[in-house]
Structure 1
Amino acid sequence: MTKRKIAAFFALTLILLQPIKAAKGFAIIIDQKSLNEAKNEIEAYAKAIKDVNKMKVYTIVDRWGVPDSIRACLRSMYYQGKIQGAVFIGDIPIPMIRDAQHLTSAFKMDQRLPKEKSSVPSDRFYDDFGLQFRFLEKDSTSTLYYYSLKSRSEQYVHSNLFTGRIRPTDVGGTSRYDKLRKYLRKVVEEKNAHNRLDRIFFLTGSGSIDESRVAVMDEKIQYYEHFPWLKNCTREAVKYVDYAQEKYIKFTLMDELQREDLDLSVLHHHGDFDTQYLNKEHKDVPKDYDEKMRDLHLSDFAEYKYNPSSRVVIFDACFNGAFQNEDCIANEYIFSNGKTIACMGGSVNVIQDKWYDRMLGLLAFGHTIGEVNNYQELLESHIIGDPTFCFAPETDIKESETADGQVWKLTQDFWNKKISSSKLLELLKTSPYDQVRMQALQFLARMNNADFVKGIAIAAEDRYEMVQRFAMNYIKTNGSDELAKPLLQTWTNPSTSARVKTDARMAVEFFKKDVLQRTYNEIWPKKNYVDKDSLGTKFYCIISKYGNYWEKEVDEIIADTLKDSAFRFSATCMRLYCPHSRIPDILKYIKDSKNDARRIPLIEAMGWYKYSYQAPIIAKAAKQLSEDSQQSEAVREEALKTYNRIMWNKR
């Protein structure tokens, strides 16, 4: 398709910069008013991308503001080999995705609630061409466009482009265009500074990952695995702050992040679009004062002249990157007077048990923050700011010799079908790198075969707390009887970390009582604890109470005696709380029932069990339904989506 046809058909204008000899390119998508107001700054930004990132830059002016047109243009340019990334500057339409909550880490909301709350703002619409969408409607008062994920779409995130959002607004009394001009000047200055990544800060807020001290210890170790040359640094290269160090930690947080030498910050806490939740509630001070002081709010940026300068900030928190709002925490970070250039954050809530630092070490070898964000493979994860931002490449060590270099190679081999589950299992057993073992476990999960079950048992004893934590979650989501032993061994180990214990306790609910009791009777006599009898009674009582905890809900569903509202609630609960041994009962109900209104939410719920040992029978039942002409179109479509979700590992 020629550039003339693209402009005519999609009402887009392409302004090509002077051609350069480059094998890669980048698109700046911008509205006309923003371009007019910041033309010089846009040109300087494009030149900096060309000079620093060695990318040919295409500035594309959106004249209609239709997401489908922008997506089609980007898709065409990508498949022509012209671009590998894009940034959306100004008032570019925001896709709001529905019927795709399984592509998020944690977002699960009844879609009967207001659509602006129950949809996921996501630029995966623009950068992942394997996802297919059906247009629903445009919001009458904003630039929000609503789409539904199609049943025939791929049912996993694997972006083709890396992207970012630069969306200034007029909040705070400063024009969006003044903010844009100032921000772009800052970006150009920082890109040309060729700064090396050698100063890191991380924080844990109240309630994050059960406030596990073991997780914190292991996290610091990981930064030295990501950036091994920092071990030779005599200055404090990696600093940590825990919320419990002070009654109100936000002032220490602000002081640390205003350091002009700070390169990377990772913040673990709870959050909302306007708040970083940091401290616990204090009963000994007035409530209004305590609420103001214990957390960091949007208003604090102006009140305390807070100007964060950490070049990159990762928010391991809910909603801090909710760019669909007129303002959000991530926006305040990049549009402040400090040196912060890019934030990684979620547009909706995010799960705590998340591999937030996957391939983070690539930042030190010239990879962009946008590329690193792509490895999160989540609907909600976005770069707020310049996605091309990168640090000066490290020269003291080769990328291929680092843990992240090996994870990157492993990832390429996986997607190119050049690695077997047996090889992944071997890496999980033998790799000296925590990050490589973590990746091997995740790819085994995608394959979901006998080696996956073996891998979970191995990972349950891993030295790295996050690998152990993911093993407990996979035990819960797989449910094979073979995993009862590693589950109970880990859960009853007195030195197991707080978060791993929590995940293990929750996994108990998905195993049959007799399997758990039999396993307990096998392992407990070999334990050598001081208060063995009373401790054993405690564990046994928990097993007896919580084994197959959700049996009642399954029985009520298949009895078909619940009122519609109660049935819908129970069916939705089956997304996460169906004991694996009862999945055949749910499938039988779906097959035998004539009530499509009840069958469809259960068909959807079965799609959440892609890691289950029962996944093959779910896929078989869903495929049969999707191909049965006697079924309604709604049933066939939902069954097809469930089939594609379960079969996602057939890459």
Structure 2
Amino acid sequence: MKFIYTLLLGCAALGAMAAPVVEKPTRQDISVAFAIITDNATYQATRPAMMRYRDAVQNDGLAAYIVRDDWKSPQDVKDAIKKVYSEAPGLEGIVLVGDVPVAMVRNAQHMTTAFKMNEDKFPFIESSVPSDRFYDCLDMDFRFLKQDEEQPHLFYYELTEDSPQRLNPTFYSARIRYPKLRGGDKYEAVARFLDKAAKAKEAMKNDRLDRVVSFNGHGYNSDCLIAWMDEEKAYRENFPLAFNTATDFKHWNFRMMHPMKYKLFDELQRPEVDLFMFHEHGAPTTQYINGSKPAMSDKDRYDLLKKSIYSRVRRAIKKGNPENEVVEAFAKEYALTDDFFKDLNNPEYWRRDSIESSEINIEAEDFHHRTTWPKIVMFDACYNGSFHEDDYIAGEYLFNDGGTLAAQGNTRNVLQDRWTIEMIGLLSHGMRVGQYNRLVATLEGHLMGDPTLRFAPVEANTMSADATLRKTDTDYWKGLLGSPYADVQSLALRMLADADTDRTLSPMLLEVYRTSPFNTVRMEAVKLLSRYNNSDFTEAVRLGINDPYELVARLSADHAGNIGDPSLLPALILLYIDGNERARAAYNASNSLSLFPIDDVVKAVEDYYASSNRYNAVAEKERVINGLKRTHNNFVKRTNDEIADTTLSDDKRISSIRFVRNNPYHPYLDLYLGIIEDSANSDAVRVTMAEALGWFNHSVRRQEIIDFCNHMLKRDDLPDTLSAELLQTLNRMQN
């Protein structure tokens, strides 16, 4: 009996040992808290540096917890975080250090900006989103699916249908995870980074954000020069201290130099740079900078053609086609001689090609022997923030011997047409980079490095802590609406909208849009009005389509298509025809016009020309109308015909239905509802159609979808999968 009692005591002790260890703050006089979440192995290997980092964070105004364990799953981590939060409601953020499990999120693609991969057709590892929103959005619910067999640090979860369907992080989060392929000892590297972050705290107390570099890469925003130039309107509002000398703010574009990467390396070596913003395309280990060199001579054009055809030939051969047949086919199609293909298998040719390709991009390996010094680096690109991978660009910037302390990047592909610099000016006002990042959360967007980093403010304030401690103090935030700084006003609007449970704020937001001289405040007003889905939002979008700030116009043009209200057509047509020097905005207008009834669009074009004074108006009108009709017939009508055609395979119909997720065709809503209601359609088709309806959340016909979902959910003959999808769509409509 004594043996059994002793054994039970031993088991209890083991159970206690297995629980997370929580080291409480050593400072009890601070009301705002922060938590360092780490694994036991990282803690033991880096403990001295971690303590120095903890102490530096506390001396900078955050009571710091350390939570550690041999984590078995992300849920274990989340449970430990919840426990800390229940003890410290003033918790403003966390950092995940070392080998903390990664949640791979599914069934939540509406929370991404662009990622729309078919979860049924592609492997879990490709079709899931690595996301720490699992940890920092405490109100969201997830269903565990499985652990990855080959990469056991990855765990798959899906968002439940009755969970909130909109991101609203409870606090900010960041990752400090070493890129394995960089080589060396990961624990030593993490310790060095923690020491770097700790030492920087004292210096940052007097470091104002007054040195900024922005770079736009090849192919970004359709290479629209007006979009690029107009960003400086916002930058002057974001960074009031960065325009005093010629080198305080540098605004680079890929067109300025070929190759550009070495000039960028020069900029990254400047210790005085505070913030570096990359607006470009990317991959986990690549930043796409220049693109092909412009062909300025006949030889250049020949070389470019040769390279292009060689690449296509090699791709065709790689797919298993015989080389002689592929070469013969290309020679026949382009009237090419045998001499044209003489270098196809020439190693020297491909060696030179490889060197040329390496000149136009930045690769992860480029930082194995270089340093970067901007304190914060932003990557707008796809995949540059893929911290779950063995190597990723953002990690290379953090773990070199330079001064970079934080990086913002994405784990998946990301939309170009988004407000990439929203709220970034808060960094000028002493806001911690984590707080800023929390305000612009997406499922794929992440902060890596030290989230507690902050610059000395333009003027002394307590906003960073107030964003946590005075979240619902509407009088306080109303008082900040009179700030002379655009981003402070934008933050005040956001906090007021977050606290607007009665949904009465939209008239005030519309008035702000109408009257604000600040470009970024007008943009914030439009974005916040999108929450209300009412006539105030529609009116702001109508006005915004021709706003003097290109980004407001571009995103308003996109909103117009998602709304589908006919009253927006005249403004869209004006932008499409008379404002097409704004290439990206006109592109969005073109896409949005395809979402309206074609007859209404044609009439709007005719009305425009009836009162216009354009050169050769009759011929131009005919070209415009023919082009719009061609788009309608080739894409819109064909897509919806395929959706309706029950003789097609489910795969073909589902492929077309999935296209509706990015293209809410309002005129075809009756068709979509009928497909869901008709049990003769397969469950897969009905479920996919119900999912697509979730993207009509701004539609002028949104209430019809809400009513339909409520009606269908009362039926007892629906497949469980369809009921679940309708419930999720309903929740998305009502968010």
What TM-score range do you get, normalising by the shorter chain?
over 0.9
Match of 2:196 in 1: 186
In 2: Cα distance, 1:468 partner to 1:165 partner: 35
CA displacement, residues 113-162 of structure 1 (integer Å, 9 cap, x when unaligned): 11111100000000001211000001123210100100000001010010
Q: Which residue of 2 aligns with 1:588?
A: 674
Is it true that 1:362 corresponds to 2:373 in the alignment? no
SS of the residue 1:325 aligns to? coil
Residue-by-residue CA offset, 1:573-603 (whole Å, 9 max, x unaligned)? 2212342110121112211234322100100
In structure 1, distance between residues paired with 2:663 and 2:600: 18
Map 1:326-405 to 2 at 5 A.
Answer: 326-395=390-459, 400=480, 401=483, 402-405=485-488
Q: Which residue is 1:276 aligned to?
A: 287
Q: What code does the residue aligned with 2:494 have?
A: T
Q: Tell me the equivalent position of 2:732.
A: 645
Distance in 2, matches of 1:237 and 1:533, equals 50
CA deviation map 1:266-291 (0-9, x unaligned): 11110000100011124458432221
The question of 1:158 aligning with 2:158 is answered: no
Residue of structure 1 equivalent to 2:183: 173
CA contact (8 A) 1:550 1:578 kept: no
Q: Is 1:215 the counterpart of 2:227 in the alignment? A: yes
Q: Tell me the equivalent position of 2:133.
A: 124
Task: Report the counterpart of residue 527 of structure 1 in structure 2.
Answer: 612
Alignment partner of 1:433 is 2:506: no
Which aligned pairs between 1:158-557 and structure 2 lie closer than 5 A? 158-194=168-204, 195-231=207-243, 233-282=244-293, 283=303, 286-302=352-368, 305-395=369-459, 400=480, 401=483, 402-417=485-500, 419-494=504-579, 496-547=581-632, 549-557=635-643
Alpha-carbon separation, structure 2, partners of 1:8 and 1:535: 78
* 1:55 equivalent in alignment to 2:119: no
Give, in whole Å, the separation in 2 of the partners of 1:319 and 1:545.
35
Q: Distance between the aligned counterparts of 2:536 and 2:90, measured in 1?
A: 40
Measured after TM superposition, the shift of residue 235 of structure 1 is 4.6
In 2, Cα distance between the equivalents of 1:44 and 1:151?
A: 43
Contiguous gaps of at least 5 residues in structure 2? 1-11, 294-302, 308-351, 464-479
| 1:562 Cα deviation from its structure 2 partner | 1.2
Using the alignment, how far apart are the partners of 2:255 and 2:360 within structure 1? 11
Q: CA deviation at 1:363?
A: 1.0
Structure 1 counterpart of 2:706:
619
Match of 2:689 in 1: 602
SS in 2 for 1:577: coil
Superposition deviation, residue 33 in structure 1: 1.1
Separation in 1 of the partners of 2:241 and 2:407? 24
TM-score (norm 1): 0.95
Counterpart CA distance in 2 for 1:387 and 1:397 is 19
Maintained 8 Å contact 1:212/1:497: yes
Aligned to 2:47: 39
Structure 1 gap segments, 5+ residues each:
none
- Could you tell me how far 1:630 is from its partner in structure 2? 2.3
> Structure 1 residues 625-634 or 369-378, which shifts more?
625-634
Give the conservation status (yes or no) of the 8 Å contact 2:182–2:396. Answer: no
Bigger Cα displacement from structure 2, 91-100 vs 471-480: 471-480
Q: Tell me, what secondary structure is at the counterpart of 1:203?
A: strand
Residue 431 of structure 1 deviates from its aligned partner by: 1.0
Separation in 2, partners of 1:507, 1:16:
53
Distance between the aligned counterparts of 1:149 and 1:398, measured in 2? 35
Say which SS state the counterpart of residue 505 (structure 1) adopts. Answer: helix
Larger Rg belongs to: 2
Counterparts of 1:32 and 1:130, CA distance in 2: 28
User: Does the CA contact (< 8 Å) of 1:604 and 1:638 recur in 2?
Assistant: yes
- Cα distance in 2 for partners of 1:493, 1:170 equals 52
Greater mean alpha carbon deviation, residues 565-574 or residues 250-259: 565-574
Structure 2 match to 1:561: 647
2:530 match: secondary structure: helix
Q: Is the 8 A contact 1:509 1:546 kept in 2?
A: yes
Structure 1 residue identity aligned to 2:631? Y
**Contact residue 201 and residue 265 of structure 1 kept, 8 A:** yes
Following superposition, the deviation at residue 629 of structure 1 comes to 2.3
CA distance in 1, matches of 2:489, 2:53: 33
**C-alpha separation in 1, matches of 2:688 and 2:184:** 47
Q: Name the CA shift for 1:419/1:199 in 2 (closer, same or farther; >3 Å).
A: farther
Q: Partners in 2 of 1:176 and 1:207 — Cα distance?
A: 35
Moved over 6 A (4+): 396-399
Amino acid at match of 1:181: A
Which secondary structure does the structure 2 equivalent of 1:446 belong to?
A: coil
Residue 49 of structure 2 aligns with an amino acid whose one-letter code is: E
Distance 1:627 1:61 in 2: 47
SS across alignment from 2:66 = strand
Instruction: Give the alignment's Cα RMSD to 1 decimal.
Output: 2.0
Question: When the two structures are superposed, what TM-score results if normalisation uses the length of structure 2?
Answer: 0.84
Q: Relative to 1, partners in 2 of residues 1:234 and 1:299: Cα closer, same or farther, differing over 3 Å?
A: closer
1:56-95 maps to which residues of 2 (within 5 A)? 56-80=63-87, 81-95=89-103
The answer as to whether partners of 2:36 and 2:94 remain within 8 angstroms in 1 is yes
Whole-angstrom CA distance in 1 between matches of 2:689 and 2:112? 19
* Percent of paired sites with the same residue: 31
Match of residue 135 from structure 1: 144
CA distance in 2, matches of 1:631, 1:419: 37
User: Matches of 2:512 and 2:179 in 1, distance apart?
Assistant: 48
C-alpha separation in 2, matches of 1:257 and 1:230: 17
Cα deviation for residue 8 of structure 1 reads 4.2
Mapped to 2, the partners of 1:427 and 1:395 lie a distance apart of 24
For 2:594, what is the secondary structure of its paired residue?
Answer: helix
Matched, 1:145 2:155: yes
AA in 1 matched with 2:235: Y
Equivalent residues, number: 640
1:87 counterpart letter in structure 2: V
CA distance in 1, matches of 2:41, 2:194: 16
Find the aligned partners of 1:566 and 1:607 in 2 and give their Cα distance. 20
Change (3 A) 1:437 1:128: same
Deviates more, 1:233-242 or 1:133-142: 233-242
**SS in structure 1 of the partner of residue 272 of structure 2:** coil
Partners of 2:209 and 2:274 within 8 A in 1: yes
Say which SS state the counterpart of residue 425 (structure 1) adopts: helix
**Letter matched to residue 217 of structure 1:** M
- Which of 24, 47, 50 aligns to 2:32? It is 24
